[in-house]
Structure 1
Amino acid sequence: MSTLLSAAVTAGPLSAGWSVHTLWMRHRIAQARRDPLTGLPARAMFERRAVRLLRRGPVAAVVIDLDGFKGVNDTFGHAAGDAAIRETGVRLAEWAEPLGIVARLGGDEFAALLPLADWDLNGELVALHEWLCHPFGYEGRTLRLGASIGAACTVPTRPDQWSALLRRADEAMYEAKRGGGGWLLTDAPVPVMASVNGRRAGRTGTHTPSAGGAA
């Protein structure tokens, strides 16, 4: 056997091992970029895609928060809550894609970004709210959730406008939730509510300890 052939035979298993390792690493990286429960893009991937979409023309940001989610968890257990989150993810992806992008921001909160040129946004928000409120099946039961939806539109050309756009949609969602649910399309040119670390004050993770309080 030639020296070259011997080297190739010896290197074969090692090369195969590295190929398997590379595929495994790529799979782990892809998993890290997606929400494990819904398979939707996680926030970091969503924001990268959003910046690219923002450069193409008029867009709408939509923030969705489920109503009654805690009641489902408390009454039927966390597995039922997980089923509700997965079903919401499926419905949102079918609603927004392939023209738009959808992500789970965390908990029972989702976001979408849509190009405005091909959408009747008011009609789409009505349809989306009705669909998210439509009951779903879980272990022989029929469960129902509500939804609060906020939307904001802009014609940005700079990626640094993305954070403000999402905050405007989040503020509209908050106003819709305070009004009992439904949807609200804001025309505010800039965010108007107080923020903590770039997020609406009062959202989970934005509370700061009071003076003299526990750290």
Structure 2
Amino acid sequence: MTTLALLLLAALSTAWGAHAVWLLHRLRTARRDPLTGLWTRDAFTRQARRLLRNPHAVVVLADVDRFKQVNDTHGHAAGDALLAATASRLTHAVGRSGVVGRLGGDEFAAVLVDRDGTAADQLAVLARILARPTETAPEVHTSVSLGWVRRADHPDEDLSALLKRADEAMYAAKRTPSAVRRAAIGRLLASVTGRRPGRRSTA
């Protein structure tokens, strides 16, 4: 093989390598929410299903309280800052062994692995952290309601059903002084009949 052919082969190899890196970057970017950097719904769903193979998994749903009021009063920049801070705090709390995604609007979901059985205490602390004003919008005061469910309590249910349970618990938390509520072990109630029609199935 001539020197010219070797040079051409090397150039092609470099070009294909750069193209593959670019494609991988584009794929990863498409799976990330541009505002918060969290996984999008579809990417979150894939990773969450994998984590649910662990019986110690916990599914968490989080919703910013009075978010529309924040936007109306303080502007969308403050609302965006609140969402970004909520995402960052959730990610830090869940850690590398879990996954956090933005389902849309001001709603977030997470799956974490609770090996030592302290999820209730961890989420109570997290709720207080999420209620703190952000550095970029210190004038904004709100809270984040959390609903959660243990995988072990419903071993035969899929991610969609567990999210519905967490959703029901989250809305129960909104109606009480507590910002955190664990899902009941019994049957699903209103959320299964479509109380929140905007939710798309993740089954």
Shorter-chain TM-score range: 0.7 to 0.9
The equivalent residue for 1:213 is none
The equivalent residue for 1:144 is 141
Q: 1:189, CA displacement in angstroms?
A: 3.6
Q: 1:194, CA displacement in angstroms?
A: 4.9
C-alpha spacing 1:73/1:130, structure 2 compared with 1 (3 Å): same
TM-score (norm 1): 0.82
Matches within 5 A, 1:31-42: 31-42=29-40
**Counterpart selection for 1:111 from 105, 109, 112:** 109
CA contact (8 A) 1:58 1:154 kept: yes
Q: 1:205, CA displacement in angstroms?
A: 5.8
The equivalent residue for 1:134 is 132
> Structure 2: how far apart are the matches of 1:147 and 1:203?
21
Query: Which of 1 and 2 has greater Rg?
Result: 1
**Aligned letter for 2:195?**
A
* 3-state secondary structure, aligned to 1:142: coil
CA contact (8 A) 1:147 1:181 kept: no
The equivalent residue for 1:182 is 179
Deviations 1:28-83 (CA, angstroms, capped at 9, x unpaired): 00111121111112222222222221112232211000012212211222121111
**Displacement over 4 Å in runs of 4+:** none
**Counterpart selection for 1:162 from 159, 183, 201:** 159
**Counterpart selection for 2:53 from 55, 67, 71:** 55
Q: 1:157, CA displacement in angstroms?
A: 5.5
> Structure 2: how far apart are the matches of 1:108 and 1:85?
7
Segments of structure 1 that go 5 or more residues without pairing to the other structure are 207-215
Q: Could you tell me the percent identity over the aligned residues?
A: 39
Q: CA RMSD in A?
A: 2.2
CA contact (8 A) 2:58 2:148 kept: yes
Q: 1:177, CA displacement in angstroms?
A: 2.1
* 3-state secondary structure, aligned to 1:145: coil
* 3-state secondary structure, aligned to 1:62: strand
**Aligned letter for 2:147?**
G
Q: 1:191, CA displacement in angstroms?
A: 2.3
Matches within 5 A, 1:84-123: 84-123=82-121
**Counterpart selection for 2:198 from 201, 204, 207:** 204
* 3-state secondary structure, aligned to 1:103: strand
C-alpha spacing 1:103/1:67, structure 2 compared with 1 (3 Å): same
The equivalent residue for 2:122 is 124
> Structure 2: how far apart are the matches of 1:118 and 1:182?
22
**Aligned letter for 1:26?**
L
The equivalent residue for 2:6 is 8
C-alpha spacing 1:172/1:59, structure 2 compared with 1 (3 Å): same
The alignment covers a number of residue pairs equal to 199
Segments of structure 2 that go 5 or more residues without pairing to the other structure are none
- Corresponding position: 1:67 with 2:61: no
**Aligned letter for 1:43?**
R
**Aligned letter for 1:202?**
R
